[in-house]
Amino acid sequence: MTSALEIKPLDAPLGAEVKGLSIDGDTDTATLKALREAVDEHLLLVFRDSELPSPEALNAFCLQWGALRPTLADRSRLPGFPGINRISNRDEGKIVGTGGHDVVTWHSDLAFEPPLIERIYLDAVVLPSRGGNTKWTNLVAAYEALDEATRERIDCVAVDYRLRDGLDFVNYFMAEDPTEATRDQTRISLVQTNPRNGRKAVWPNTGPDFAARVVGMPEDEGTELLAELYEHSTQHRFVYEHEWCVGDSVFWLNNQTLHQREAFPGRELRVLRHVNILGIIHPVESSPRPTPAALAGES
């Protein structure tokens, strides 16, 4: 392990700051193990005041965590690195900016064919003079704060997700090929369990890009349940807000958090790099929940 590695919890409902790590694409086994355990425990890791890695180093670092899933925004991918997406309110040559400058409401990134996105990397390249902060909410704490009756009610509930109707793939997703959306629907557990530590998180992922329907419930009842859980989970007491500085990187568990981007002045430039990493997530149609014995034997 890097001898200078330090992982310190943030004074916030989730997150830890990591010092002493260079994201150079060649992380040793002990350091990677420490980082894996830290993100599982704290849900989110912050790396500050570091030199941003090259696309080659960033791609190699992220691949150590799992296979990468390119975003639908195929026109915003970095040339030669389809797993790295440029999030910006401006285009750069042939790379189209995606994300705009208005508020992006609470959501987790969601794909429609397992394996799904478990971890996400994001770093800041260029920032506006104000605004553009990103917030994350702790869905493990939100689950634990529910009363026992509600937890029992939702523990075995599944949700069908699909892209919402009327999306403009070319202008909204910056996607040349809408077939990359893969299949229309994925069935996912409302309560997500981390198989490495057994911690549960409620995941009312009613994001802006897709529609969600609770399996086995009348549509209005399911919609009301998701809305109640969404409102509960996004309370300030569960939220960490990150005020970006150039050079910051954040790495988090996608299925045990929601995130939201605040608005910033549209006349100013904001550029970040984004990577989706595939991993263990619970689509009920393909992955059984881990047994206690399996959890006990997990290294």
Provide the Cα torsion 56, 117, 40, 23; round to 10°: 10
| Residues in a beta bridge with 273 | 86, 123
pLDDT at 289 over 50: no
Task: List the beta bridge partners of residue 98.
Answer: 87
Q: Contact at 8 Å (CB) between 34 and 19? A: no
pLDDT at 285: 53
Nearest to 258 by CA among 18, 44, 31, 1: 44
Q: State how beta strands 44-47 and 16-19 pair.
A: parallel
Which among 107-121, 165-179, 193-207, 248-262 has the top mean pLDDT?
248-262
Tokens for 159, please give them: 């949700």
Beta bridge partners of 138: 257
Given CATH 3.60.130.10, say whether it is the number of domain 6-297: yes
Judge residue 27's burial from the number of C-beta atoms within 10 Å of its C-beta, 0-12 exposed, 13-18 middle, 19 or more buried. buried
- Residue 297 pLDDT exceeds 60: no
Per-residue pLDDT at 26 exceeds 50? yes
> What is the pLDDT at residue 274?
97
pLDDT at 166 over 50: yes
Q: Both tokens of residue 299?
A: 């290294």
Residue spans of alpha helices (H) in the chain: 29-42, 55-63, 139-144, 148-154, 219-233, 292-297
Strongest mean pLDDT among 77-81, 97-101, 208-212: 77-81
- Are 91 and 75 a contacting pair, CB within 8 Å? no
Q: Who wins on pLDDT, 185 or 41?
A: 41
Q: Give the lowest-confidence range in 19-28, 146-155, 187-196.
A: 19-28
Work out the pLDDT band at 292, boundaries 50, 70, 90. Answer: very low
Give per-residue pLDDT as tens, 53-92. Answer: 999 999 999 999 999 999 888 889 999 999 999 999 999 9
- Distance CA(40)–CA(52), nearest Å, equals 24
Question: What letter would DSSP give residue 89?
Answer: S
Q: What is the mean pLDDT of residues 198-205?
A: 96
- pLDDT, residue 73, reads 83
Q: Which residue would you say has higher pLDDT here, 60 or 2?
A: 60
- Rounded to an integer, the average pLDDT of 97-112 is 90
Condensed to tens digits (0 to 9), the pLDDT of residues 230-267 reads: 999 999 999 999 999 999 999 999 999 999 999 999 99
Instruction: Give the pLDDT of residue 280.
Output: 84
Single out the residue of 298, 288, 123 nearest to residue 197, CA to CA. 298
**Residue 290 contacts residue 195 (beta carbons within 8 Å):** yes
